[in-house]
Structure 1
Amino acid sequence: MIKLGIIGTNWISKMFVEAALQTGSYTLTTVYSRTEEKGNAFLADLDTDTDNVAVVTTLSDLYTNIDVVYIASPNALHFEQAKVAIASDVHVIVEKPSFSNPTEFAIIEELLTRHENVRVFEAARHVHQSNFKLMQQAVIELPQVQGATFVYQKYSSRYDAYLEGQEPNVLTREFSGGALYDLGVYPIYAAIALFGAPRAVQYLPTLLNNGADGRGTANLFYDQFNVTVIFGKNANSYLSSEIYGLKETISTNNIAELNTITYHDGDGNADNIGVAGTSNPMVAEASDFSRVITDPINEHVRYQQWWQLAKQVNQTLFDLRQSAGIVFPADIKD
């Protein structure tokens, strides 16, 4: 069994822990929280036996009894926390976006060369799901790709807090937040996984008063087509996402959730080519990561594919920010 530790006690940590336990490959051993009270409250909310799970309040104590750490802290904290884990020869599963910029990514990449047995995974759950793989195959079979429009826009309760004068982490540049680095990473990940890295990008954001982006439209330019990506945290959208062939169109109700995948043949016929997903959408990635951890030699090629994809996404997110003049404090560290 893979000994799992976690950083972060929010809803997504709970979802990942439950997904990991569902695979039968992990056992939860340690929870890191700023306070014991929050850590114990997190454990009490899990639907599993947690009597033997330790709650720690210092990172040095976290790495004493784990094989892999799941990091779901604010974006700007991922880098330093991952460095400590790698230096402790602990595998890392880090929520997307993994790191704030290509400089941080390169430092992590160099550190891994000195800890060759450690694996770092970016938790882009949707690209590991069965329906995403079915969408990939359908795209391959299109006679021609003429572009795509991906939409992921959900009103956030954190925006209510912002309107009340607060500064929630997810909507501040100080914590490498904003719409692009929260919801936008889902459709950007999907676009690059499907079509590769774009040759050029442009981001047109709607900025909040604190300089972070509340929503925006990103354009990814390829040689033969363009991809338009619409996302945000301060409004709701109910539009589907589409990939355009000639007469054919592939659509999904939600590019992050992928509940349905529909193939439209251009003659009015629509065929549901998707499958029913698991109740927990993080099971697929947790299972994929466990196979690499337990069988790194045979799973090396897949791991390298995921790593290169994460690297391309990281660069594209940074380039989009650059095009819009959005600077994070993490970009100008000494």
Structure 2
Amino acid sequence: MINLGIIGTNWITQQFVEAARESGDYTLNAVYSRHIETAKQFAKKNNAKEVFDDLDQFFTEGTFDTLYVASPNSIHFEQAKQAIIHKKNLIVEKPAFMNPKQMNEIIDLLKQYPDVLYFEAARNIHTSNFHVIQEKLHELPTVQGAQFTYSKYSSRYDKVLEGEEPNVFSLNFAGGALQDLGVYTVYDAIGLFGKPKELVYYPQLVRTGVDGKGTAVLGYEKFNVILNFSKISNSYTTSEIYGLKDLIQLDDAGEIQQVNYVNDVGESFMIGEKSNKNPMLPEAKDFARIINDPEDSSNQKDYRRWLDLSVDVNNVLFKLRQSAHIMFKGE
């Protein structure tokens, strides 16, 4: 059984804890929050025994071997370093780190602690439907690009309109649409097509200076991939991968709860499965599989592939921000 510690007590942490419990591979032992009452409330709700509001004490006294980090984006890096130094396996909510400098430092640190495992929690690439897309993509005689859309209005934007600056809309905390919903679309693109040869990002900035929404273009040798994402508007547009006359259609680029194949005469067939399960369950199971048997050759191959993909996504996110002249505090 994997003994789990968590940093962050928001809704996505709750969702991961529920997925971890459902997987049968984890038990939640330790909860850290800057506010002890918040930690106690989360621990009571999820039957955790240990609560902390002191981060050093959390790492030295908490009885956990694997840490899930869902703090504000800008804080991930320092907390991840502490976890690795304390020999804790590490699951970091996307986007794991702000830029390649931070990512490279983490990779170098992992080499010093070879028994520590690091995962970026990008749930979409672990779903069975993503694997179905990968398989179907290989069957298309011709591929002519794709467009991936993931747009959901954030209730935190109401605060921005009222004059406040929530973390997810703050340059101080590495916020913005690209750093949130946009990560899923970048994972889709690189996970399916590899690293692009060129790229550009066209953001729509909001009052706080972050991108509330935007469109990115990834250029490949024979086609382009268009990424659309937003935290200040909704979209119910499907995502599509284009063949010649046929295409693969996704309900959205983040959850991927349904995938259809549309043939050359317009007939649509559902492939994969229509899922209403906790969307974090597949990644929780994948991470547990590696943690529980890190020496298995197949597990090692998957781990290396996910690690390389995390590095590539980090690099592309940074280059997209550079193209739009978006810089975070401390960069």
Scaled by the length of structure 1, the TM-score of the pair is 0.96
Query: Which of 137, 157, 181 does residue 183 from structure 1 map onto?
Result: 181
Paired position in structure 2 for 1:326 = 326
Superposed counterparts of 1:205-284, under 5 Å: 205-277=203-275, 279-284=277-282
Do residues 58 (structure 1) and 61 (structure 2) align?
Answer: no
Q: Which residue of 2 aligns with 1:84?
A: 82
SS at match of 1:185: helix
Distance in 2 of aligned mates of 1:70 and 1:161? 27
User: How many residue pairs end up in the alignment?
Assistant: 327
Indicate if the aligned counterparts of 2:160 and 2:208 stay in contact, CA closer than 8 A.
no
Gaps of 5+ in 2: none
Q: Secondary structure at the match of 1:184?
A: helix
Residues 186-205 of structure 1 aligned to structure 2 (within 5 Å): 186-205=184-203
Counterpart position of 1:133: 131
* 3-state DSSP of counterpart to 1:188: helix
In the alignment, which residue of structure 1 is the partner of 2:18? Answer: 18
- Give 1:147's aligned residue: 145
Secondary structure class of the residue paired with 1:12:
helix
RMSD: 1.0
Q: Distance in 1 between matches of 2:305 and 2:85?
A: 23
Q: How does 1:156-167 map to 2 (within 5 A)?
A: 156-167=154-165
Aligned to 1:71: 69
Encode CA deviations 1:63-108: one digit per residue, 9 max, x unaligned: 2311100000000000000000000000100000000000000000
Tell me how far apart the structure 2 counterparts of residues 22 and 45 of structure 1 sit (CA, whole Å): 15
Distance in 1 (CA, whole Å) between partners of 2:330 and 2:230 is 22
Q: CA deviation at 1:35?
A: 1.4
Distance in 1 between residues matched to 2:302 and 2:260, nearest whole Å: 27
Check whether the contact 1:152–1:254 (CA below 8 A) recurs between aligned residues.
Answer: yes
Equivalent in the alignment of 1:312: 312
What is the distance in 1 between the residues matched to 2:277 and 2:262?
27
Match of 2:109 in 1: 111
Structure 1 distance, partners of 2:217, 2:330, is 24
| Aligned-partner residue type, residue 182 of structure 2 | G
8 A Cα contact 1:176 1:330, kept in partner: no
Deviations 1:4-50 (A, max 9, x none): 0000000000010111111111111000011121112223444xxx1
Q: Which amino acid aligns with 2:57?
A: D
Q: Does 1:36 align with 2:33?
A: no
Amino acid at match of 1:189: Y
Q: Deviations over 1:185-233 (max 9, x none)?
A: 0111111000001011100000112221010000000000000001011
The answer to whether the 8 A contact 1:198-1:221 is kept is yes
Of the structure 1 ranges 277-286 and 94-103, higher mean CA displacement relative to structure 2 is found in: 277-286
CA contact (8 A) 1:199 1:221 kept: yes
Q: Quote the Cα distance in structure 1 between the aligned partners of 2:233 and 2:293.
A: 43
Separation in 1 of the partners of 2:45 and 2:182? 29
Aligned twin of 1:295: 293
Residues 98-140 of structure 1: CA distance to partner in whole angstroms, max 9, x if unpaired?
A: 0000000000000011100001100001100111110111111
Partner AA of 2:54 in structure 1? T
Q: Report SS of the residue matched to 2:78.
A: helix
Q: Distance in 1 between matches of 2:322 and 2:274?
A: 39
Secondary structure, in 3 states, of the residue corresponding to 1:329?
coil
TM-score (norm 2): 0.97
Q: Where in structure 1 do 4 or more consecutive aligned residues deviate above 4 Å?
A: none
CA distance in 2, matches of 1:109, 1:278: 35
Q: Kindly, what percent of the aligned residue pairs are identical? A: 49
Q: Which amino acid aligns with 2:31?
A: V
